[in-house]
Amino acid sequence: MDNQDIYTAAEGEEQEELYEQWRIVVDKGQEPLRLDKFLVARIEHATRNKVQKAIETGKVQVNNKGVQSNYKIKPLDEIVVYTDREIQGEEIIPEAMPLNIVYEDDEVMIINKPPGMVVHPGSGNYSGTLINGVAHYLLQKNPDLTEAGLSRFGLVHRIDKNTSGLLVLAKTEQAVTALAKQFFDHTVKRQYQALVWGDMEQDAGTVVAHIGRHKKTRKLFDAYPEGDSGKEAITHYKVLERFGYVTLIECILETGRTHQIRVHMQHIGHPIFNDDTYGGDRIVKGTVYSKYKQFVENCFEICPRQALHAKTIGFKHPVTKADMLFDSELPADMQQVIEKWRTYTKAKKIGYENSIR
């Protein structure tokens, strides 16, 4: 069991799906035994320290529930160990690319990821990812860095290819463990801004609906308000600006599930603008007149992806324990499309006022 198998991306909006790596059903005749000891004995190359860290960060479940390392296993218990990689053992090839590094010290890096960049190599994306670029950057700083040294560098959360914004990356095993624990405990501050379809009914609200795999299309996720499928997911939102047919909102995550904001906004009838996965890439609100249709299509061209940005992130430093808080500006595509809607709204209002004089 490699460090990369144990130290996984913690839960964050747009987190990649966790993948089942081991599933063990305890034998009927098994005597009571601590979970960590049991896994060390059953999984090749596992150490007690690595197993305990996996349990602490919620990547080991017994009977679909998180447990402690000292949990005593029982006959027929079902134990599942998850990792954050669908394909294990892929070599990360360093590649030169521009990186917007907001902050860096010996333990952590904060990077402002542009839209269109995949975070980690995986199925169909083995190069050109953020991690390929970071590997090159680290080797430029320290040419003597070994493959083992690079393996200690880790993601503690992720955002989608077409979502922009701030990512925390850990440079040491200690930082990975400490930060992953903060994400697991939901103590990390994460604020997003999104442009969504429709005029939000309330100035602020909370969406509570489990999120899990779509029952027909496995690559998508869906909301389950009754909680009969998926995992608990809670998103708080606040209106920042209204443009009639679309609304600029701030979202604060209480939990973090794959595609959480995107799925929750679709669930309440306000899909994210130009989200081609969850119904935002067509005219959801507005008129059918050709001028309006052309206006929306022009907006889609300006921002050719879901209008979602990871704006703020805050956490305790894994070593100094100091409070760390980082904020980022909206990227140019979102700023331009918001300004276009702002101008459209003002023009529409002036036209209406002139018509009633």
pLDDT at 149: 57
Q: Report the CATH architecture of 19-83.
A: Roll (3.10)
Label residues 78-94 b or e (16+ Cβ within 10 Å = b): ebbbbbbbeeeeeebeb
Q: Which residues are catalytic?
A: 160
Q: In this prediction, what percent of the chain has a pLDDT beyond 70?
A: 85
Phi-psi region of 204 (alpha: psi -120 to 50; beta: other; left: phi over 0): beta
pLDDT, residue 43, reads: 78
CA–CA dist 177, 274 (Å, integer): 36
Which of 146 and 50 is assigned the larger pLDDT? 50
Least confident window among 59-68, 79-88, 288-297: 79-88
Domain segments of the chain as ranges: 19-83, 101-345
Find the range with the poorest average confidence among 70-79, 151-160, 253-262, 286-295: 151-160
Q: What is the pLDDT of residue 310?
A: 97
Q: Which CATH class is domain 101-345?
A: alpha beta
Residue with the larger pLDDT of the pair 290 and 339? 339
The set of residues, in sequence order, having a beta carbon less than 8 Å from that of 356 and lying 6+ positions away, is none
Q: In whole angstroms, give the CA distance from residue 266 to residue 198.
A: 11
Average pLDDT of 239-265? 94
Confidence of residue 10 (pLDDT cuts 50, 70, 90): very low
Q: What number is the average pLDDT over the span 47-61?
A: 85
Q: Do domains 19-83 and 101-345 have the same CATH topology?
A: no
For residue 65, what pLDDT band results from cuts at 50, 70 and 90?
confident
At residue 152 the predicted structure's pLDDT band, cuts being 50, 70 and 90, is low
Q: What is the mean pLDDT of residues 217-241?
A: 88
Q: Is the pLDDT of residue 352 over 70?
A: no
Within 13 A of 108's CA, how many CA atoms are on the CB side?
Answer: 27
For residue 23, pLDDT beyond 50: yes
Span 126-138, average pLDDT: 87
3-class SS letters over 238-261:
EEEEECCCEEEEEEEECCCCCCHH
Q: What is the pLDDT of residues 312-341, one digit of tens each?
A: 999 999 999 999 999 999 999 999 999 999
Residue 103 near residue 29 (C-beta atoms within 8 A): no
| Minimum mean pLDDT range among 13-17, 207-211, 271-275 | 13-17
Both tokens assigned to 80: 């599942």
Residue 289 pLDDT > 70: yes
Per-residue pLDDT at 107: 93
Question: Is pTM beyond 0.85 here?
Answer: no
Return d(Cα 313, Cα 334) in angstroms, integer: 19
pLDDT score of 188 more than 50: yes
| 129 vs 92, more confident | 129
User: Which residue has better confidence, 43 or 119?
Assistant: 119
Of 49-58, 100-109, 299-308, 328-337, the range with the lowest mean pLDDT is: 49-58
- Pick 259 or 22 by higher pLDDT: 259
